[in-house]
């Protein structure tokens, strides 16, 4: 019991009780809004008269420690009391090396940020104006009426079964054979990749990837203390000759991370022939492939894209990580891992140990959105919208930017190389003129790429594409003239 004060005869009982209650408040044992026992109850607990407690409460009330509401009782007031027992720690000396590394690799904190009113080419998130809120509201209400309050309770680590079945159908339509395979729902690509690395790698392991590659993937590989070996890119994807040489001569890798479709940051689509040769090569050396299904839906030509996971048939060496985040509702943070059934069982345990499960309500809403055909309609609309921007980006890059090399076959961005310039210096000058983009060096595994940059066009207007590209081009020309 909190009110277990042992009274003595050295001072008055009233003062002892007052000091004791103040002490409980100062130490945080009695919180603001907490109700005190009635004067009669408190008198019985402390074995004093009710009149003594009445006087105690009156004094504490006058001093602002408590307040009395007629008909309701006596409560601890909201008076700010400074505790004498508080401790001030230097958290910078307490955090571990993982935290320090994560903070150091956090580009949101350390890179230049877009400000309101700027022309921003630094984000590859979708344009929110394409989201159909009315359809989303209907899907939300439909799933609530179907599932009731069950959908607001705990779910399963593996995911919402109707959504899993729907995604299996979606992936099967891409050609993936689900014989002895399964799906785990994740909080987007980032968690999916982190879970996979946690399950198949140890610190110090070697991992192969394209160079350049997805910056978030680089960050996660570094946080897992992996030795990253980047293989150069060609116009149709990873350099297969260099890959084979690395596999023959280098230390055996634990896995290979690849983005074959609308590669981030280059936008390159790996050719079908190269997909087959890379798959065969890595299978020969028994190297698991982690395939990032980045932006597969945003193809602007009529040619189909077959995932490497589909080319692998009934084999189980490819781990496919999918997400709609770069095209649809990134705020919902829903992704998935499609892989061997035994591996998915292991990954499910890691998922459960970390955050129990991805929001079941979000999963159910996405399922409803997919099932009633809204996604297909949305993709059709989005492809038309982004294709127009993509074509403008290519047009104005050719018109204004004196590039050495331009790549990008679809998706939401293009990648540019300009020999003889430092993209960070160019960006600093452009920033003063109200334009920002992403310097390319953050995507490289070997501290190169200082003459490259990525231009994302998903959230800028057509007019801003022309105006922004002209500013970038003029700034580059000024820089080249000074050389």
Average pLDDT estimate for 8-21: 91
> CA 472, CA 431: separation in Å to the nearest integer?
10
Alpha-carbon torsion 134, 136, 137, 142, what sign? positive
Cβ neighbours of 180 (radius 10 Å)? 10
Is the previous residue joined to 179 through a cis bond, with omega within 30 degrees of 0? no
- The pLDDT of residue 423: 97
> What's the mean per-residue pLDDT of the chain?
93
| Buried/exposed 445-474: b ≥16 CB within 10 Å, e otherwise | beeebebbbbbbbbbbeeebbbbbbebbbe
Task: Tell me how far apart the alpha carbons of residues 193 and 465 are, in angstroms, rounded to a whole number.
Answer: 33
Q: Give pLDDT, residue 80.
A: 59
DSSP string spanning 239-272? -HHHHHHHHHHSPPPSEEEE--SS-TTT-----H
pLDDT of residue 298: 76
Of 229, 228, 231, nearest to 239 (Cα)?
Answer: 231
**Distance, CA of 256 to CA of 125 (rounded, Å):** 26
Greatest distance between any 2 Cα atoms in the chain: 95
Helix, coil or strand: residue 321:
strand
Least confident of 176-180, 276-280, 370-374, 418-422: 370-374
Domains and CATH numbers, the chain: 13-76 (1.10.10.10), 109-128+377-481 (3.90.1150.10), 131-372 (3.40.640.10)
Q: Which residues pair with 206 in a beta bridge?
A: 227
Q: 54 and 41 in contact (C-beta within 8 Å)?
A: no
Please enumerate in sequence order all residues whose Cβ is within 8 A of that of 70, keeping only pairs 6 or more positions apart, or say none.
Answer: none
What is d(CA 265, CA 367) in angstroms, rounded to the nearest whole number?
30
Residues 6+ apart with CB under 8 A from 357: 154, 155, 156, 157, 158, 159, 185, 351
Average pLDDT over every residue of 446-457: 96
User: For the whole model, what pTM was predicted?
Assistant: 0.84
The stretch 241-256 carries a mean pLDDT of 96
3-state helix, strand, coil in the chain (%, to 5): 45, 15, 40
Contact partners, residue 43, CB within 8 Å, separation at least 6: 49, 50, 52, 53
DSSP string computed for 336-383: EEEEEHHHHHHHHHHHHHHHS-S-HHHHHHHHHHHHTTHHHHHHHHHH
Cβ partners under 8 Å of residue 311, min gap 6: 175, 275, 276, 279
254 in Cβ contact with 207 (< 8 Å): yes
Q: What is the pLDDT of residues 184-204, one digit of tens each?
A: 999 999 999 999 999 999 999
Q: DSSP readout, 6-71? A: ---SSS-HHHHHHHHHHHHHHTTSS-TTPBPPPHHHHHHHHTS-HHHHHHHHHHHHHTTSEEEETT
The arithmetic mean of pLDDT across residues 222-247, rounded, is 97
Average pLDDT estimate for 277-290 = 98
Residue 85's pLDDT is 60
Q: Which of 196, 438, 176, 143 is nearest to 310 (CA)?
A: 176
Q: What is the pLDDT of residue 81?
A: 56
Contact 472, 430 (CB under 8 A): yes
Joined tokens for residue 151: 């959908």
């Amino acid at each position: 019991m909190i009110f277990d004060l042992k009274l003595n005869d050295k001072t008055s009982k009233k003062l002892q009780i007052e000091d004791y209650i103040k002490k409980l408040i100062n130490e945080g044992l009695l919180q603001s809004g907490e109700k005190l026992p009635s004067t009669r109850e408190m008198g019985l607990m402390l074995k004093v008269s009710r009149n003594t407690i009445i006087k105690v409460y009156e004094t504490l009330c006058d001093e602002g420690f408590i307040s009395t509401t007629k008909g309701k009782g006596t409560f601890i007031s909201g008076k700010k009391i400074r505790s004498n027992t508080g401790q001030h720690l230097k958290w910078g000396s307490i955090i571990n090396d993982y935290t320090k590394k994560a903070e150091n690799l956090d580009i949101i904190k350390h890179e230049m940020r877009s400000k309101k009113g700027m022309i921003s080419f630094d984000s590859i998130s979708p344009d929110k104006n394409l989201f159909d809120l009315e359809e989303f509201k209907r899907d939300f209400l439909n799933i609530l009426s179907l599932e009731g309050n069950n959908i607001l309770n705990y779910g399963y680590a593996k995911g919402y079964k109707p959504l899993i079945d729907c995604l299996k159908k979606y992936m099967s339509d891409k050609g993936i054979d689900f014989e002895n395979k399964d799906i785990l729902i994740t909080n987007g690509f980032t968690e999916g990749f982190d879970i996979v690395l946690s399950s198949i790698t140890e610190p110090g392991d070697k991992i192969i990837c394209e160079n350049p590659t997805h910056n978030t993937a680089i960050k996660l590989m570094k946080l897992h203390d992996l030795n990253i070996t980047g293989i150069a890119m060609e116009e149709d994807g990873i350099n297969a000759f260099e890959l084979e040489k690395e596999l023959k001569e280098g230390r055996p890798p634990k896995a290979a991370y690849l983005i074959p479709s609308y590669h981030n940051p280059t936008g390159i689509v790996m050719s079908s022939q190269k997909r087959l040769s890379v798959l065969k090569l890595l299978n020969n050396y028994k190297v698991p492939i982690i395939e990032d299904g980045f932006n597969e839906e945003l193809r602007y030509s009529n040619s189909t894209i077959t995932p490497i996971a589909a080319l692998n048939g009934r084999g189980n060496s490819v781990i496919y990580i999918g997400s709609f985040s770069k095209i649809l509702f990134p705020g919902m943070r829903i992704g998935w891992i499609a892989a061997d059934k035994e591996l998915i069982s292991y990954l499910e345990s890691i998922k459960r140990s970390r955050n129990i499960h991805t929001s079941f309500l979000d999963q159910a809403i996405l399922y409803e959105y997919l099932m009633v055909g809204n996604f297909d309609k949305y993709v059709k609309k989005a492809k038309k919208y982004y294709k127009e921007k993509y074509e403008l980006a290519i047009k104005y890059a050719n018109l204004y930017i004196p590039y050495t090399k331009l790549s990008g076959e679809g998706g939401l961005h293009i990648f540019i190389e300009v020999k003889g310039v430092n993209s960070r210096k160019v960006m600093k000058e452009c920033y003063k003129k109200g334009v920002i983009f992403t310097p390319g060096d953050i995507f490289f595994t070997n501290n190169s790429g200082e003459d490259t940059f990525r231009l994302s066009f998903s959230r800028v207007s057509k007019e801003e594409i022309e105006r922004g590209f002209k500013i970038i081009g003029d700034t580059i020309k000024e820089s080249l003239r000074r050389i």
